[in-house]
Structure 1
Amino acid sequence: MDTLKVVDRLTVTFLVDNCIEWMTKLPPGFTLELRQHLSDHQPPIDPVTGVPFIDLENYCCGAHGFSALIETGVAGEEPHLILFDTGPDSQSIIRNVKAMQVPVHRIERIILSHWHADHSGGMLSFLRHRSTMSQADATSRCVADVHPDRPIARGIAPLDKVIGRLPADPTFEEIEAAGGIVETHREGHAVANGTVWVSGEIPRVTSFEAGLPGAVRWMNNEGEAKWVKEEDIMDERYATIDVAGKGLVLFSACSHAGIVNVVKDAVANFSRPVYMVIGGLHLAGTDLADRIPPTVAFLSNQLKPCPAYVLPMHCSGFAAKVALEAALGEGCVPAGVGIKVDVHGDREGEHMIFPPSIE
């Protein structure tokens, strides 16, 4: 297995999420979108009153999907910028990278968590936008790190009746034409000079995490085309960063594999405590309500030490957020699009880091 470096700093900016949160008090290191605009982004000044405009026309928008900008830093090395997923459509990712004044030309890699359009839908528009912004450096192309098993189509079939298909994921040819370089990976691997780990297939070891109910895939085998049940979504991958003196920060965009399976795999691979869990936990809806109590019990009681922070986003659902807040208190953070998180490493605190245990 590739070596995962311990980093001195991690900065995460949420570029696409279902929720927008402007007013809740957040823990240290978390910065709300509005504050960033008014203090860091040189907002337009009202000529009448002399104070900055709250320029709502150019702030982030919410969308059903996920995208996070990940910046890793190791002392004495250049930082690396990675985009984890790209949201559901061609518009939200572009609006929001402009709103957050993201240096898109510095983003070296897109990690696609899995082939679902609410995560891949903004990839082509982002790559085209990046190509436009990087014209001065024709050699600067962005890697698209994807699982090789791209589906023809995926749909949803509650009660075994297909009621709709998701928009098509970008093809490898479209990614290349938009300015990307396709890399396909089935196995876990380190990227960003070893500061980010992208998982391979996630082992399914829990009894209650059983994939995405009603998920189907269009298959065409030997001339027979039909919808086939596909609840496991085996192309799903997570990403992790190891922060000095803190431990692992996990990005699980949808947790079709189950967030408990994700955490168990990361702990098994790295023997490091889990500092932060970020992303969609896929616990929304009545069909998945019975998974909430064992998930919360695992994160809050069975995993020792429990994560300092859990950020339930995207497809986590209101009931899961309420349950996690009841169990973790301020450790459950209501993150949303536009929020920035700074995690500073502590090399001197490394001697306090011990392997986690699972009861």
Structure 2
Amino acid sequence: MAISQTVDRLVVTFLVDNCIEWMTKLPPGFTHEIRQHLNDQEPPIDSLTGVPFIDLENFCCGAHGFSALIETEVNGSEPHYTLFDTGPDSRSLVRNIAGLQVPVDRIERIVLSHWHSDHSGGMLSFLRLRGPVSAPCVVDLHPSRPIARGIAPLDKIIGRLPADPTFEQIEEVGGVVEKHSEGHAVAGGTVWVSGEIPRVTAFEGGFPGGVRWVGGEADSEGKWVKEEDIMDERYAAIDVLGKGLVIFSACSHAGIVNVVKDAVAKFSRPIHMIIGGLHLAGPELVERIEPTVNFLANQMRPAPTYVLPMHCSGFAAKVALESALGQGCVPAGVGIKVEVNGDGDGEQMMFPPCSRKVNLQT
């Protein structure tokens, strides 16, 4: 039995990302932000020239974090809206939502991928945006919220990350907290949210230098402990008719190969698209790039149609993916919209995916 419902239409709008991309030619189904402002909205007409006025005050800004609006639809029914992560702060998500005219009151659920502030920082501001008569917004969270997290490369603490919202703060601004450590379907059964991701590869070792504060909220006797696995991280998956899985992995601390292997094991469906941060940036992660790209491009059969390396993927990983996948590596960024439509004929020709060894231990 399927663990989630196959959808006929998926629309993704990127609300927060490190990159802004306006110029590169995109594949079919992808739309630059500037075209959305000109075609989907009603820009003012310039009185001097008589053409639409492109007001950059209304365009998205980049920020170090991730947020994506996921719209799913089955058989022409009313779509479901899910917000996957909320970016790093109170400003970027709010600004970009306004510029893209996002229907905030129709968003049913926030899914937080993991407890890091570059993914949770905009949550409270988003909830405050919603109108007083809006239906309650569920906030889907892993129950293991850390008191604090920090960064400690070479075992030297260099900084504490901003605090994530507490369960109480979320409820105070109208969120309905749901805690999940196991996989479950949301959005009318159209979006699968994973549980904790099994670590099975040999080369994906978590978040180097990750530490967690253990002790009370005001406990001076607390201490930092090493925490590189980030076991509260979760991915989301949508199964599109005749296309396969679209995977959202916001930061991939678990490793994107671990994520993909878990999704394929659960769904027995090919991967159509991989979206999000692959966490391959930084000198300590360079050695993971080659085996990751090798798996995605050479071991997976069929290979993903598209990989969208975003947020924390890093320049070197993007270059390697573009070299291996060509136009299958899409330079996505904040403001871009992606539409994936189901294909009934294609569904009849789909086979379960497989992987093969290519001189690589995983």
Q: What does 1:115-194 correspond to in 2, within 5 Å?
A: 115-130=115-130, 134-135=131-132, 137=133, 140-194=135-189
Q: Deviations over 1:94-143 (max 9, x none)?
A: 0000010000000000000000000000000000011xxx22x25x1100
Q: Residue 2 of structure 1 contacts residue 189 of structure 1 at CA under 8 Å; is this kept in 2?
A: no
In structure 2, what is the equivalent of residue 18 of structure 1? 18
| Contact 1:252/1:278 (<8 A) preserved | yes
Residue 319 of structure 2 corresponds to 322
1:277 match: 274
Once the two structures are superposed, residues 64-118 of structure 1 have per-residue CA deviations (whole angstroms, 9 ceiling, x without a partner) of: 0000000000004211000000000000000000010000000000000000000
Structural mapping, 1:34-183, within 5 Å: 34-130=34-130, 134-135=131-132, 137=133, 140-183=135-178
Q: Please point out which of 248, 254, 258 is paired with 1:261.
A: 258
Partner Cα distance (2:2, 2:351) in 1: 21
> Offset at 1:240?
0.2
Aligned to 2:284: 287
Which segments of 5 or more consecutive residues in structure 1 lack a partner in the other structure?
none
Task: Report the CA distance between 1:223 and its aligned residue.
Answer: 8.2
How many Å apart are 1:46 and its aligned residue? Answer: 1.0
1:11–1:342 Cα contact (<8 Å) kept: yes
Matches within 5 A, 1:204-223: 204-220=199-215
1:231 aligns with 2:225: no
Instruction: Single out whichever of 349-358 and 117-126 deviates more from structure 2.
Output: 349-358
In the alignment, which residue of structure 1 is the partner of 2:360? none
The one-letter code of the counterpart of 1:182 is: V
Letter in 1 for 2:223: K
CA contact 2:19–2:334 (8 Å) conserved in 1: yes
User: 2:298 pairs with 298, 301, 306, which one?
Assistant: 301
Q: Which structure 2 residue ranges, 5 or more long, are not aligned? A: 357-362
- Secondary structure in 1 matching 2:333: coil
Q: CA RMSD in A?
A: 1.2
Letter in structure 1 aligned against 2:121: G
2:197 to 187, 191, 202: 202
CA distance in 1, matches of 2:264, 2:278: 18
3-state SS of the aligned residue for 1:110? strand
Distance, in Å, in 2 between the alignment partners of 1:175 and 1:223 is: 26
Q: Which amino acid aligns with 1:274?
A: I
Give the percent of matched residue pairs that are identical in Structure 1 and Structure 2. Answer: 76
Aligned match of 1:241: 238
Aligned residues: 354
Q: Distance in 2 between matches of 1:241 and 1:350?
A: 15
SS in 2 for 1:6: coil
Using the alignment, how far apart are the partners of 1:292 and 1:349 within structure 2? 32
* C-alpha spacing 1:27/1:265, structure 2 compared with 1 (3 Å): same
Note the alpha carbon deviations across 1:31-63, whole angstroms, 9 max, x for none: 000111011111121111111111001110000
> Could you tell me how far apart the structure 2 residues matched to 1:53 and 1:261 are?
46
For 1:296, the aligned partner's letter is V
Paired letter, 2:106: R
Give CA-to-partner distance per residue, 1:166-196, whole Å, 9 cap, x none. Answer: 0000000100111110000000000001000
Cα distance, 1:214 vs structure 2: 0.3
Distance in 2, matches of 1:86 and 1:347, equals: 34
Provide the rounded CA distance (Å) in 1 between the counterparts of 2:76 and 2:251.
Answer: 34
Name the TM-score, length of structure 1 as normaliser: 0.97
Deviation by residue 1:233-270 (Cα, 9 ceiling, x = unmatched): 00000000000000000000000000000000000000
Q: Does residue 355 of structure 2 align to residue 355 of structure 1?
A: no
| Contact 1:277–1:311 (8 Å) recurs in 2 | yes
The 4+ residue runs of structure 1 with deviation greater than 3 A are 221-224
Q: Distance in 2 between matches of 1:83 and 1:76?
A: 21
Q: Secondary structure at the match of 2:198?
A: coil
Amino acid at match of 1:285: G
Distance of 1:10 and 1:202 partners within structure 2:
24
Question: How far did 1:348 drift?
Answer: 2.2
> Residue 246 of structure 2: SS of its match in structure 1?
strand
Pick which of 1-10 and 25-34 moved more: 1-10
Q: Which residue of 2 aligns with 1:30?
A: 30
Report deviation, 1:307.
0.1
Retained in 2: the 8 A contact 1:16–1:68? yes
